[in-house]
Amino acid sequence: MGTNAHVRYKNIVMDSGRWDGFRFRDDDIVISTPPKCGTTWTQMICALLIFQTTTFDKPLDVLSPWVDMLTRDRDTVVAELEAQTHRRFIKSHTPFDGIPYDEQVTYICVGRDPRDVALSWDNHMANMDMVALLTARQNAVGLDDIADLLAQGPPPRPHSELERFWGWVEGVFEIDSATSSLQYTMHHLSTFWDRRDDDNVVFLRYEDLQADLEGEMRCLAGRLGITVPDRLWPALVEAATFENMKSHADVTAPETRERLWQSNQQFFHRGTVGQWRALLNDDDVARYGRRVADLGVDADLVAWVHGGPL
């Protein structure tokens, strides 16, 4: 059983307090990434490695539920996990210091160039049906805890993509309200970076998955102690491609039962590397670098997640 977590992260979408009292199994896998860093992709890869088939009997987010998510009743989510007989792989967007720790559990974190995360988050918010989100949340846990926030109404959304980018980059991380920002992304990664040498902590990088999907899948299988027959690899790798996941978005995108997306396929958006280069000029890149420096993040982590020094 995991030890009690020390930090509670809560916002309109998630509450890490839902981990309290959760009972781990010795071979559980927790996939904990900052938003828009390849969470669903990693869930799909784990599903393919565990089941060793390209078709599943349930949607991906049922096989791999998000414990922290406030659009589903916690007791129901936990009961579904307790009923699973396969090796469990559980989604989270909670930093490492907010998840119960168990040395028999494997924790996977995924990093991605935050400049691309910002653009992916922009698409994420544009594609979200906020009425559906609030309806699902109300049905699951109620809205009393965010009544003040709802009374204020949604913050104005800047018309310019560049303005929205800077809003994400310069947003202030507050532990009780953060959803996604540069500071929150780097904070999340930092909590795992400090434990990266632990045998049960696995770091993946979005760009590496793009560059060598099969190699990264084989490496992850090794870290998870999973043996895959050679004849299965081509089909499993093909099923994990961005294009294949997007084409099956109704069962691979998260929260489709709650109809949170205006378009399930649009949830996957572009899935490319270096999207930010078309948006930022040299002055913008320098400004971004100064913001990263102001956060005081470990220089090695900054270089790793950006694919080199800024």
Catalytic residues: 93
What sections of 113-160 are H helices per DSSP? 114-127, 130-140, 147-152
Taking only Cα atoms into account, the Rg of the chain, rounded to an integer number of angstroms, comes to 19
CA distance 185 to 198: 21
Q: DSSP state, 4? A: P
Contacts of 112 (CB under 8 A, 6+ apart): 34, 36, 37, 38, 205, 206, 207, 305
Count of CB atoms situated within 10 Å of the CB of 130: 11
Between the alpha carbon of residue 33 and those of residues 190, 192, 236, 288, the distances in Å are 11, 10, 22, 22
CB atoms closer than 10 angstroms to residue 158: 12
DSSP state of 291: H
Which amino acid, 275? Q
CA quadruple 279, 283, 286, 290: dihedral positive or negative? negative
Provide DSSP, 67-111: TTBTTS-HHHHHHHHHH--SPPEEEE-S-GGGS---TTSEEEEEE
In the chain the first and final C-alpha atoms are separated, in Å, by 41
- In single-letter form, the type of residue at position 157 comes to R
3-state secondary structure of 298: coil
